[in-house]
Structure 1
Amino acid sequence: MTQVIIIGGGFSGIAAAKKLHETNIPFLVLEARERLGGRVYTKQISEDLYLDLGGQWIGPSQDRMYALCEELGLDYFETYDQGYNILDFKEQVKKFKGLIPSLDIFSLINLDFVLKKLERMAKTIPQDSPWLHPKAVEFDRVSLAAFVTSQCKTKSCQKVVSLALETVFAAELNEVSLLHALFYFKSGRDLNTLININNGAQLHRIVGGMQTLVEKMAQPFLQQIKFNHPVSSIRKEDGVFTVQCEGFSYKAKKIIMAVPPVLAGKINFYPLLSAAKRQVLDRIAMGQVGKCFMVYQKPFWREAGFSGQAFADEYSPFQSMFDASPKEAYFGIILAFTIGNRAKTFFEKDKEKRQAIMLEKLTKYFGSSAETPLFYEDFSMSDEAWSRGCYAGIYPTGAWTGFQDAYAKTENDIYWAGTEASKVWFGYIEGAVRAGETAADNVLLDLK
């Protein structure tokens, strides 16, 4: 028997394991996959070429991520953000500089009003307890889509706000409670931070890919990680947990849950989790996003004065695109996000057709230089059995006020981690690390 079993080898589980290892507490990590990282997944193509198929960015105020990079000797670099961006509305392509696209003056005024109103509202949300806001019930019964529709007076304004927020949440806006959205903005500093590259959440990337960091974190205790060990049940009798995997069982005094809510809800618990915990696990849905990469010999768009960023309305399968080239630009990579309903429709097509669609868009944006890529790759966490979606769990209307902090609460020596258990940078890797460390701290306190 060990002291602690950590379920999940993503950033949150490994952050918890790292803290337990440093305090000499015996533990095991049970990971369903054959790799570390969870919703972070770096595909290594060659020595100088890698694709971050999962989470990939860090930014200002994500202090734990930067501290880990420094501690483990990993370099990071700025996301390319120079030159013209592209706006693709009604299949008409325009170029613009800065964060705000070229719209008619009334739409621009309306856009500024809506974004600033969301910022003001988010500032008033109690970050540790959003359900205590005086208007929490009012905000929680309204979807983010309904709010955007009510505030946007022009189609152009509504399209820009919607595609920006869909990219932030990786979900259709009718799936997101307004209260959850406001909490999410506050959790990640503010909305401006979440949508920006410059001084924003997309500022830096890890040299070698994000998965490199979690692998470095786990290096000292790799022998305590069991891969290909999906957990089917957790039973507690006489103060001891028995964790059942296919063909294996392990015993411990404490459990740290560090898997996505949708997967935690599939595990059989005895005794049962509380009614509030079970119900909130049923209500939290995962975001849906596909990441599509077109890889070139070099980032030719930079020489032509483009940033590689593009934003499109519903006539395109891609809400947004970014330059995802490696630090030294040995290759040029355009990354496109397809989100929510657009992702569902896009991934119904075969891969050859998906490549052709993206290639057509890039040729339209950047000209004939885009016609000859080295290769295309895409990936959706929704299709991975041990993620079921990305970036994070989404609280629908009524969930925050109905269940409050039920998800993150410790119950019966089971401690809850994962980015969804964090009140700081909820939905981001920073939040996952913080939640894992907090769970480990709480275990240590209780063991003492």
Structure 2
Amino acid sequence: MQEVIIIGAGFSGISASKKLNQANIPFLVLEARDRLGGRVYTKKLSEDLYLDFGGQWIGPGQDRMYELCREFGLEYYETYDQGNNLLDFGKKVRKFKGLIPKLDIVSLINLDLVLKKLERMAKSISLEEPWNHPKAMEYDRISLAEFISVNCKTISCKKIVSLALETVFASELNEISLLHALFYIKSGRDLNTLINIKDGAQLHRIVGGMQSLIEKMAAPFHDKIHFNRTVKKILQENEVIKVKGEDFELTCKKLIIAIPPPLVSKLEFEPMLSGKKRQIIDRISMGQVGKCFMVYKKPFWRENDFSGQAFADANSPFQSIFDCSPKDTKYGILMGFTIAKRAREYFTKSKEERKNIMKGKLIQYYGNEAAEPLLYEDFTMTDEAWSRGCYAGLYPTGAWTGFQNAYSKAEGNILWAGTEASPIWFGYIEGAVRAGESAAESVRLAYKNS
């Protein structure tokens, strides 16, 4: 019998494993994929070319991520953020610098008021008990889309706010409650942090890709990670937990579940999970995002004073585009986010069609130099069986006030990890690390007192 079994070898599961390993508590990790990382996935295309198909950024306030980089000697560098950004609205492309594009004065004032109102409301939310806010029922009754519709008085303001928030949440704004949006903003410090590169959540990238960090974390206990192990059933019998798959059965005293909520819903539990736990799991849906990469010999747009950042309304499949070139600029890489409804439409097309669509947009933005890429790649976690979406699970209207923190609560000797179990940096890799460490600490304290 194992002391602990961990389901999932993403950042949360491996963070829990690292802490247990340091405490000399026996454990095993079961991972359905053939790789580490979960919703982090660095694809190596050659010796010197890699693309982060999953999570890729870290920024101020994500203290554990920076501590881990220092612990394992990994270098990070700033996302390129110099020169002109582009705004593609109404089939017209305009240049601007800074965070806010040039709009008519009424739209600019409206935009400022809406963003400040969201910030002010988010500050009043408790991360531990968002459902106890005096206006929690009111905020949880409406979607973020309804709030935007009421508060944005001009079409330009609504378009700017919508594309920014779609990029933050990786979803249509009618899919999440206003209360969840406010909690999420507070969880990641503030809205300015979540949107921005400078001093924001997109400030730094890791040299070699994000997956290089989790590989270093897991190296001391790699033999305890069992890949291609799909868990089907979990049985709690007295103080023993049986974990079953098609060709294995293992037992443990404590179980840590560190996989996305929709995957938890596929597991068979005996006895069944509590009613609240089952119902919140059924309500949480995953964000939908595709990452689309065009690789060039060099970041030529920089020579023409462009940042590589572009933002577009629904005439483009890409809500936003960023410069994702490596630190040494051996290649120039532009990455486009296609999110929610736009992503669903985009990925119905063939890969060749997708390549041509992105190339056409980049030619429109940056001229004929964009017509000769070395290659195009794209990826969506929505189509990966063991992720079902990205960045994170999202709460619809009524979920927070109806079920509170039922998702993150332990059930018997089963503990929950994953970024959705963290009140701090919910939806980010930092949140995944914190949730994994918290679950492991609970195990450590129980083990110490046993």
* TM-score when normalising by structure 2: 0.99
Where does residue 50 of structure 1 map in the other structure?
A: 50
Q: Does 1:110 align with 2:110?
A: yes
SS of structure 2 residue aligned to 1:159? helix
Aligned length: 448
Q: How does 1:60-79 map to 2 (within 5 A)?
A: 60-79=60-79
Where does residue 26 of structure 1 map in the other structure?
A: 26
SS of structure 2 residue aligned to 1:387? coil
Superposed CA RMSD: 0.5
Distance 1:249 1:293 in 2: 41
Distance 1:79 1:230 in 2: 37
Where does residue 423 of structure 1 map in the other structure?
A: 423
Distance 2:204 2:117 in 1: 28
Distance 1:441 1:16 in 2: 8
Q: How does 1:297-376 map to 2 (within 5 A)?
A: 297-376=297-376
Distance 1:102 1:376 in 2: 31
Q: Does 1:411 align with 2:411?
A: yes
What is the deviation of 1:90? 1.2
Q: How does 1:170-319 map to 2 (within 5 A)?
A: 170-319=170-319
1:302-352 superposed Cα distances (whole Å, 9 cap, x missing partner): 000000000000111000000000011000000000000000000000000
Q: Structure 1: which 5+ residue stretches go unaligned? A: none
Distance 1:387 1:53 in 2: 12
Distance 1:7 1:129 in 2: 27
The residue type paired with residue 336 of structure 2 is A
Distance 1:410 1:446 in 2: 13
1:214-244 superposed Cα distances (whole Å, 9 cap, x missing partner): 1100000000000000110001113111101
Distance 2:317 2:69 in 1: 35
The residue type paired with residue 85 of structure 2 is N
The residue type paired with residue 318 of structure 1 is F
Q: How does 1:133-172 map to 2 (within 5 A)?
A: 133-172=133-172
The residue type paired with residue 434 of structure 1 is R
The residue type paired with residue 435 of structure 2 is A
Q: Does 1:37 align with 2:34?
A: no
Distance 1:213 1:422 in 2: 20
Distance 1:126 1:223 in 2: 41
Where does residue 390 of structure 2 map in the other structure?
A: 390
Distance 1:227 1:255 in 2: 17
SS of structure 2 residue aligned to 1:38? coil
Distance 1:407 1:182 in 2: 18
The residue type paired with residue 148 of structure 1 is I
Over 2 Å off, 4+ runs: none
Distance 1:393 1:81 in 2: 29
1:341-375 superposed Cα distances (whole Å, 9 cap, x missing partner): 00000000000000000000000000011000000
| Identity score, percent | 69
SS of structure 1 residue aligned to 2:40? coil
Distance 1:92 1:291 in 2: 24
SS of structure 2 residue aligned to 1:434? helix
SS of structure 1 residue aligned to 2:120? helix
SS of structure 2 residue aligned to 1:54? coil
Distance 1:123 1:429 in 2: 22
Distance 1:103 1:212 in 2: 41
Distance 2:335 2:414 in 1: 38
Distance 1:199 1:329 in 2: 22
Distance 1:315 1:401 in 2: 37
1:15-53 superposed Cα distances (whole Å, 9 cap, x missing partner): 000000000000000000000000000001122211000
What is the deviation of 1:203? 0.1
Where does residue 97 of structure 2 map in the other structure?
A: 97
The residue type paired with residue 111 of structure 2 is L
Distance 2:47 2:83 in 1: 29
Q: Structure 2: which 5+ residue stretches go unaligned? A: none
What is the deviation of 1:91? 1.1
Q: Which moved more, 1:334-343 or 1:231-240?
A: 231-240
Distance 1:314 1:298 in 2: 29
SS of structure 2 residue aligned to 1:353? helix
Distance 2:58 2:86 in 1: 24
The residue type paired with residue 358 of structure 1 is M
Distance 2:17 2:428 in 1: 19
What is the deviation of 1:446? 1.7
What is the deviation of 1:249? 1.1
What is the deviation of 1:418? 0.1
Where does residue 445 of structure 1 map in the other structure?
A: 445
The residue type paired with residue 278 of structure 2 is R
The residue type paired with residue 432 of structure 1 is A
What is the deviation of 1:296? 0.2
Distance 2:224 2:246 in 1: 18
What is the deviation of 1:120? 0.3
SS of structure 1 residue aligned to 2:125? coil
